[in-house]
Amino acid sequence: MSGRVLSVTGSDPQARRWADRVATLTRRAFSDTGEIAGLPRPDGAGDEAATLLDELAAGSALWIALGPSAEVTGAMRVAETDDGAWCVHRVVVDPALRGGGVGRLLLSALDRAAADRGIPALRLNAVVERGLPPLYARLGYHVTGLEPGPGKPLSELVMERSPGSPGVPAPLAEEWIWPAPRPTVNWFALAGEMYAVTGHHRGVADAARGAADALAAHLGPGTPFRYAGTDAHMDPQPADRSCPPPGPGGLRLDPHITRYAGPRERVPAHVMPRTADPWRFAVWRHNPGRETRIAPRPPVRAVPSVREETIP
């Protein structure tokens, strides 16, 4: 999307005017709960200009995207952390322009500025249940950890990228490997139903592919199910403990596969997994209509053993 981006600090004489405009846009953009019904009201729905001005006074910067008529089309807040990184939060886009490149415009401008100033990293928290990690992954942000969000029912991934580096997508958090296999619940959509596949895996990519293989073996090759996301048990119990059922309301097809009738928003264990188990965190989600196909892995061919023989 075309447009320009400006950066506003607390010393800007127009800071109050910009804060009013951005707070108004933020409340409007966060007035719904996202693409999956049933999620809590976002914090940004109650945004106030006074709070934003306090952030600017404390050293944060406000980055604003402007359209052709100088209208505010998007914004985000940026603060420097103790290790010198820039932390991005409350990225907001005009609801009428979602998917039009406003967020990419903002983050690209920030990336160029950070690279010019030698900033070591750009960092942000992405709420998993709202389907945000795949959006940032497409811009080259990589998962570095999980932040449960104390007192909140949703999960957040910490994601970062090196300014100026190629924006190579990481669609399944390839590099995020857990120290030991964890019980996982992996969600797939098929013909208006949801399938949950449990297992033990070392990371999101391993979980998605392993569960897809198990579901394909059960439903038959070529069944057009699509991957919706993964939950992982992050409790302090031994990682090899048995996988509990994903949640009530499903039909167990075998010890590891459960089918749920109806769309995703009717499966509470999928919408907010911590309501089913406080230690089950969502670690990846694709929004409805954006689920992805997981290509089946080719079968592993057995390598014939080599027998030593004496050749006369």
Question: What integer is the mean pLDDT of 239-257?
Answer: 80
Rounded alpha-carbon distances, angstroms, from residue 39 to 42, 103, 151, 226, 294? 8, 22, 15, 22, 26
Asked if residues 19 and 67 have their Cβ atoms less than 8 Å apart, the reply is no
So what's the pLDDT on residue 311? Answer: 37
Question: What integer is the mean pLDDT of 219-248?
Answer: 81
Residue 253: pLDDT band with limits 50, 70, 90: very high
So what's the pLDDT on residue 228? Answer: 96
Distance of CA 312 to the CA centre of its chain: 64
So what's the pLDDT on residue 244? Answer: 66
Question: Does residue 75 carry a pLDDT above 60?
Answer: yes
44: left (phi over 0), alpha (psi -120 to 50) or beta: alpha
96-127 pLDDT, tens digit per residue, is: 998 899 999 999 999 999 999 999 999 999 99
Q: CA-to-CA distance for 74 and 97, rounded, in angstroms?
A: 9
So what's the pLDDT on residue 304? Answer: 47
Q: CA-to-CA distance for 268 and 247, rounded, in angstroms?
A: 8
Residue 236: pLDDT band with limits 50, 70, 90: low
Average pLDDT over the chain, rounded to an integer: 88
Q: Compute how many other C-beta atoms are within 10 angstroms of the C-beta atom of residue 239.
A: 17
**What string of DSSP letters covers 109-132?**
HHHHHHHHTT---EEEEEETTTT-
Answer with the residue of higher pLDDT: 242 or 202: 202
Cβ contacts of residue 228 below 8 Å, gap of 6+? 187, 188, 189, 194, 264, 270, 285, 286, 291
Residue 43: pLDDT band with limits 50, 70, 90: confident
Helix, strand, coil percent content, the chain, rounded in steps of 5: 25, 30, 45
Per-residue tokens: 257: 């596969």
291-301 pLDDT, tens digit per residue, is: 999 876 665 55
Domain span(s) for CATH 3.40.630.30 in the chain: 4-120
CA atoms within 13 A on the CB side of 172: 20
Question: Does residue 308 carry a pLDDT above 50?
Answer: no
Percent of the chain exceeding pLDDT 90 equals: 69
186-221 pLDDT, tens digit per residue, is: 999 999 999 999 999 999 999 999 999 999 999 998
Residue 174: pLDDT band with limits 50, 70, 90: confident
Q: CA-to-CA distance for 185 and 246, rounded, in angstroms?
A: 7
Classified as helix, coil or strand, 265 is helix
Residue 160: pLDDT band with limits 50, 70, 90: very high
Question: What integer is the mean pLDDT of 274-284?
Answer: 90
Asked if residues 85 and 159 have their Cβ atoms less than 8 Å apart, the reply is no
Closest listed residue to residue 1, CA positions, set 113, 76, 133, 109: 109
Rounded alpha-carbon distances, angstroms, from residue 10 to 19, 53, 58? 10, 7, 8
Question: Does residue 280 carry a pLDDT above 50?
Answer: yes
Strand order in the sheet with 193-203: 251-254, 257-260, 193-203, 177-190, 226-233, 280-285
So what's the pLDDT on residue 305? Answer: 43
Q: Whats the size of the chain, residue-wise? A: 312
So what's the pLDDT on residue 119? Answer: 98
As a CATH number, domain 4-120 is 3.40.630.30
- The verdict on pTM exceeding 0.85 is yes
